[in-house]
Amino acid sequence: MFTGLVEEKGKIVRAQPSANGLRLTVEARVVTDGTVIGDSIAVNGTCLTAVSVSGSMLEFDAVRETVERSTLGDLKPGQPVNLERALRAGARMGGHMVLGHVDGIGVIREIRKAGGETVFRFEASPEVMRFVVEKGSIAVDGISLTIADYGRDWFSVAVIPHTLGATTLGDRSVGSRVNLETDIIGKYVLKFVGKSDSDDRLMSLLDKGGFLDTQIPWDA
């Protein structure tokens, strides 16, 4: 598990397609400290396993499904990537619970200054938007951000200068694709209290019995 607090920007040295997916070689300074083969590292929000650690170089194998569900296949040598080591037990949780399992790919549609902040507006699929709530958390390329506003197929976040400089968001432009991971808590809530046929019958009986003041739009 990760927190969405990026530890450093690494640099892609090599992105080599393989029969099973993609082999990535990343140059880093901070996240290599204490990292051994088999450790998990979030690369632009995608949980990958280190298969080689040599000095400042890390190598990862991304399977085909991971490549297809994320932007890893877009990476080119020299490109910066957000890196975070897995959370240690007992460490401070500064962001939110991030699993490194990408839900979908978003596209930057607008970047604008608002006072001392920079506002990004992202287009996202219905599968992502169903878990988006105002003031909720979302991971964008592995960065823990707070949703400021949203619509049917978009959401926006306000980014402070520190985050802009410490992550790849400062290198992005309109049209850039990003990895999105929604809040795991919201997924479990929907799973366990989501709409079902029995819910419909119960609400109908309560309404007929006069226990509801108004008809609840259960299918809204």
Between 190 and 79, whose confidence is greater? Answer: 79
pLDDT tens digits, 85-119: 998 877 777 888 899 999 999 999 999 999 899 99
Same domain, 186 and 114: yes
CATH number, position 156: 2.40.30.20
Q: Where are the alpha helices (DSSP H) in the chain?
A: 64-69, 126-129, 161-166, 184-193, 197-208
Inside any domain, residue 167: yes
Inside any domain, residue 14: yes
Inside any domain, residue 215: no
Which range of residues forms the domain containing residue 185?
Answer: 104-192
Residue 44 pLDDT > 60: yes
Q: What's residue 206's pLDDT?
A: 60
pLDDT band for position 71 (50/70/90)? very high
Same domain, 113 and 180: yes
Q: How many domains does the chain have?
A: 2
The two structure tokens encoding residue 95: 């962001």
Q: How far apart are CA 28 and CA 34, in angstroms?
A: 12
Indicate the SS3 state at residue 168. helix
Same domain, 183 and 108: yes
Cβ neighbours of residue 192 under 8 Å, at least 6 residues apart?
none
